[in-house]
Structure 1
Amino acid sequence: MPHLQEILPKLVSSLAARSDRGSVATYIPELAKVDPTKFGIAVATLAGSVVAAGNADELFSIQSISKVFTLALALGKCGDMLWTRVGREPSGNRFNSIVQLEYEKGVPRNPFVNAGALVVTDSLLAGHEPREVIGEILRFVRFLADDDTISVNRAVAASEQSTASRNMALAHYMHSFGNLQHAPQRVLGTYVHHCAIDMNCRQLAAAGLFLAAGGRNPLTGHSVISPLRARRINALMLTCGHYDASGDFAFRVGIPSKSGVGGGILGIVPGVASVAVWSPGLDSSGNSHLGTIALEELVQAMDWSVFAPRAHA
């Protein structure tokens, strides 16, 4: 079987020659400034090695990938009571759609669409100020990645908040149904700040390792979440992590993953590794175009899939 040290540089080289790179997210002005030719990838294994290639050390806005970490925190606080406020089904609609909220009385389909992530953020605010929650989320991500340099990009947060009319509409709509317990402005402010966390591929791959290791940190052995909770978060990533393209991504790639409009994707190979890929150009569903192609080629080369008889490190 080919080794990661051979595969990743080849992936970077082959994708660099492609002209179909997608389009950067222009509706957030700061993200519109990102160079669309950038591409980075890193794989962190349970054995403790990290293999990276391309622009793997360059920081990018993780955006909706942060929803994986906020969900883990919220479940730790609320337990299964969280599922009375947010569903676990794929939406089939755009990540910022308001359509289903009307039919389903303000209960979002899943925690990875924007409405669902706002509810998760609202649950974290219980009894706390937004700055305290942002600090808690940041400490959690730093703990997972074992890197205290990870921070919120304030320029991206301000840029996102200035153009967040649709997310504000989602928040107000859920508030009208009583499914948002704090002022929409406070919830949205907290939300845009955790979406504006900056990480590189190495840091993000390391932060995702606990989901590949049944909820524990494989490098320290410390428990982060229960094995059952890790399995369920992975299930939601597989079925809902790419919005209305989740089914196609599962068909093509076959591992739990979560995308962000900053161009990042976090992929989990249970029992084996965590993968982070970054390419800023997005497809029509808001997922990294070349990042998806890279993960598809990587899992095929490594024989990684939750649907395969076994995965290989």
Structure 2
Amino acid sequence: MNYQLLLENIYNEVQSIENTGKVADYIPELAKVNPEKFGISLVDSTGNIFEVGDTKETFSIQSISKVLTTAIIFAKEGNELWKRVGFEPSGNAFNSLIQLEYEKGIPRNPFLNAGSLVIADLMLDHFDDPKKYFLNFVRTLAENPTIQSNESVAQSEMESGFRNAALVNFIKSFKNIKNAPEDVLDFYYFQCAIEMTTTDLAKCFRVFANQGLIPNTDDLFLTKSQCKRMNALMQMCGFYDQAGEFTFKVGLPGKSGVGGGVVALLPNQYTVTVWSPKLNKKGNSFYGLEVLERLTTETGTSIF
């Protein structure tokens, strides 16, 4: 498969489409990002890297970080985790409070804001310095020791995050948050403000395409069973209330973030990241979904 030529063709084809999306301006720092940025990186099973467009610039991974923190806690707690958070698609917006009332403070899945706040609470329980641990973890996966969390983005999210503050306090009223809400929010915004390039992010997710084994090491991060379940979560819940459409059109496990990043993977074959900051009405990168639909169509590959 000539991935380089394929990516270049898809890049040019998608770039000719009018992008009707909008940058996530409800987070003031994200509103400052150049909306025309567009890059694609693909890493195959042997570590070969294929890139086109703006692949050298870092961007805020936002909710894509939720996959990584969930995997860390799943590796620590095993199936005990699912007593604190569910694993079902939501059908509601990623920052919705509606279901929490009916489900007594147990978030529907860990990729909703509510679910990720519970995971953040567990990160505080398991690690003396969860920020340091998480940063070192993503640096290891991406093979890039320079990755950082953007303090300005985290602060901007804290100052505008009234709904997240409501969520964490509401969950705590059901006793499903153990730590101080302000500490949970502080870590949550730190993780969302992690910045990577498209290639960094594609490398990060190789562990999920590699049956839980961290590439280029002998370290088994997740069992095969746990890795399968993480991929299932991404398939069902990785694109908020557009997850069904993404499965229908693309057919890969993946995750999006409101920073404009989208990452997806085909087990044992490749991981792919697209960055384009303009989002559709569901909060997913407009160009990102266009690229991934074409990638799986033109290669004839998906998990189905």
TM-score, normalised with respect to structure 2: 0.98
Q: Structure 1 residues 82 and 68, CA, compared in 2 at 3 Å: closer, same or farther? A: same
Q: What is the identity, as a one-letter code, of the residue corresponding to 1:119?
A: V
2:127/2:133 contact within 8 Å kept? no
The counterpart of 1:261, out of the listed 255, 258, 262, is 258
Q: Which residue of 2 aligns with 1:206?
A: 203
Q: Which residue of 2 aligns with 1:7?
A: 6
**Take 1:284 and 1:230, find their aligned partners in 2: how far apart are those partners?**
30
Q: Which residue of 1 aligns with 2:59?
A: 60
2:75/2:221 contact within 8 Å kept? no
Q: Determine whether 1:27 maps to 2:29.
A: no
Q: Determine whether 1:149 maps to 2:146.
A: yes
Q: What is the identity, as a one-letter code, of the residue corresponding to 2:16?
A: A
**Take 2:126 and 2:80, find their aligned partners in 1: how far apart are those partners?**
17
Quote the offset at 1:16 in angstroms. Answer: 2.2
Q: Which residue of 1 aligns with 2:121?
A: 122
How big is each residue's C-alpha offset from its partner over 1:191-235, in whole Å with a ceiling of 9 and x where there is no partner? 000000000001000110010010012333432211111110000
Q: Determine whether 1:162 maps to 2:159.
A: yes
1:21/1:36 contact within 8 Å kept? no
Q: What is the identity, as a one-letter code, of the residue corresponding to 2:168?
A: A
Q: Which residue of 2 aligns with 1:216?
A: 213
Quote the offset at 1:271 in angstroms. Answer: 1.1
**Take 1:224 and 1:56, find their aligned partners in 2: how far apart are those partners?**
27
1:34/1:280 contact within 8 Å kept? yes
1:261/1:288 contact within 8 Å kept? yes
Q: What is the identity, as a one-letter code, of the residue corresponding to 2:35?
A: P
Quote the offset at 1:18 in angstroms. Answer: 2.3
Q: Which residue of 1 aligns with 2:272?
A: 275
Q: CA RMSD in A?
A: 1.1
2:106/2:171 contact within 8 Å kept? yes
Quote the offset at 1:304 in angstroms. Answer: 1.6
Range that drifts further, 8-17 or 196-205: 8-17
Q: What is the identity, as a one-letter code, of the residue corresponding to 1:78?
A: E
Divergent runs of 4+, >6 A: none
Q: What is the identity, as a one-letter code, of the residue corresponding to 2:87?
A: R
Range that drifts further, 13-22 or 54-63: 13-22
1:21/1:290 contact within 8 Å kept? no
Quote the offset at 1:13 in angstroms. Answer: 1.6
Quote the offset at 1:21 in angstroms. Answer: 4.0
Query: What does 1:56-95 align with in structure 2 at a 5 Å threshold?
Result: 56-95=55-94
Query: What does 1:181-192 align with in structure 2 at a 5 Å threshold?
Result: 181-192=178-189
2:59/2:196 contact within 8 Å kept? yes
Unmatched tracts of structure 2, length 5 or more: none
Unmatched tracts of structure 1, length 5 or more: 308-313
> What SS does structure 2 have at the residue aligned with 1:141?
helix
Q: Structure 1 residues 188 and 242, CA, compared in 2 at 3 Å: closer, same or farther? A: same
Quote the offset at 1:106 in angstroms. Answer: 0.4
Work out the percentage of aligned pairs sharing the same amino acid.
Answer: 46
**Take 1:78 and 1:96, find their aligned partners in 2: how far apart are those partners?**
25
Q: What is the identity, as a one-letter code, of the residue corresponding to 2:245?
A: D
Quote the offset at 1:4 in angstroms. Answer: 0.7
**Take 1:10 and 1:303, find their aligned partners in 2: how far apart are those partners?**
16
2:73/2:123 contact within 8 Å kept? yes
Q: What is the identity, as a one-letter code, of the residue corresponding to 1:173?
A: F
**Take 1:127 and 1:222, find their aligned partners in 2: how far apart are those partners?**
20
Q: Which residue of 1 aligns with 2:102?
A: 103
Quote the offset at 1:118 in angstroms. Answer: 0.3
